[in-house]
Structure 1
Amino acid sequence: MFSILIVFLIPFGLMGAVNPIITLSSYAVLGGMYLLVVPLFLFYWMNNRWNVMGKLERLFIYGLVFLFFPGMVLFAPFLNLRMNGKEEF
């Protein structure tokens, strides 16, 4: 398998892309963005714009929630997105 990969990458000059350190670090960066960065941004966005979102924005955000669901599940127990009640004087 490895020799077939090398044969296909040599004409494109992509031999450096076979380096395992680069591969593992790119997996770590992409996994961190998928599980940590984007879900936290989605929670922040939904918390700030929940009452003023339009139909298309809400549809787009729900699609992103579906796409990044594993990361959303990781943070769901720790975040409180309930609306503030009416304050009594």
Structure 2
Amino acid sequence: MENIFTNPFATLIAYVAVITAYLLVIPLFLFYWMNNRWNVMGKFERLGIYGLVFLFFPGLILFSPFLNLRLKGSSKG
């Protein structure tokens, strides 16, 4: 029986899982969190979010052209 730590397929699966979480899953969650909580965050929550934005910046850059975080204004012109 082959050891799981020396299996190249298991290593590839682990790399894909980490890259997917780093570039896709966590940045999308951060965008969702910021979009829902931006105007009601406390100072420590905002500081934590800024730290996570710094940490997951490459994934946030991938989604930034497609997501809009601007406030929804009134429909009056």
TM-score norm. by structure 1 comes to 0.80
The answer to whether residue 8 in structure 2 is matched with residue 20 in structure 1 is yes
Aligned-pair CA distance for 1:65: 0.4
4+ residue runs of structure 1 moved beyond 6 angstroms?
A: none
Provide the C-alpha distance between the structure 1 equivalents of 2:4 and 2:46, rounded to a whole number of angstroms. Answer: 42
Are 2:37 and 1:49 equivalent residues in the alignment?
yes
The structure where helix makes up a greater share of residues is: 1
- Helix, strand or coil for the counterpart of 2:22? helix
In 2, distance between residues paired with 1:26 and 1:63? 25
Partner of 2:26: 38
d(CA) in 2 for partners of 1:37 and 1:31?
Answer: 9
Larger Rg: 1
RMSD of aligned Cα (Å): 1.2
Deviations 1:45-88 (A, max 9, x none): 00000000000000000100000000000000000110011232
Structure 2 residue runs without a partner (length 5+): none
Alignment partners' CA distance in 2, 1:51 and 1:18: 49
Identity of aligned residues (%): 65
Q: Match of 2:47? A: 59
Paired residues in the alignment total: 75
TM-score normalised according to structure 2 size: 0.93
